[in-house]
Structure 1
């Protein structure tokens, strides 16, 4: 970048990410600002309310953030899969649109009911309804998975709460 500043690589108005995704893409393709993502995550941890406005019913938020899969449906998920949730392993399920902690595992870090999803550039968000925290990590490391930065971030945050 010029003079040690930032360099615009992909202008919002002409970004290639605005083009429709060909075919089915599952959880891919969601774009957001950090402010809007923060409001969304805060709404989840607040049980469906944003400020004094109810956006989702408590029942809808509970369904989103509760495991919806049976054990046999999770069998193909490797025990080492973490989705940025550290050593949770087999204590992982899936709600509507994200991973859910069903058991904190041997280290006991975090809370049952944590809800999370990551992005292609090693981004991650999670909400912990027990500790009432929201974490949004908007890094740009591609490909994800090289360094366990999401797992390390989680360790740092929960160790600071202890």
Structure 2
């Protein structure tokens, strides 16, 4: 009986000594910060030499204001399109324009045929659903092609190298790539 009691005490002691350790509390991870909209557009190092940054590049509101004096009709159209994007949930936007000819800085994109240029527009939305709905309705007059639509010069999806939602248009003198992504 003494052995049984000693064995029972030893088993209880072994059980107590092997209790599950309490997990160490770790801090809740904070979400990674998003890229600032002005940093997501093309930068000088992204474009070929010979292309210079246009005045007015930066916040989209600034770009529109810059166009008011030289291109009021274009500025009005862009302002309406920007209002539409804000109505759909856009909270900020930026544009960068680079060109070999300063006259292209205040012209409609691709309207000056002899100038080489590159442009990027980035809009920020409150959530992915808002961004996707805006993307499907078109951004600044560029609407994704209808499913199955593949006119000459158009590529869609994976072959573009830019993702499922992307489309590219390559027809002289214009090369255009449109896609949406989370940054």
Same fold (TM over 0.5): no
What's the TM-score, normalizing by structure 1?
0.26
More strand by share: 2
More helix by share: 2
What's the TM-score, normalizing by structure 2?
0.24
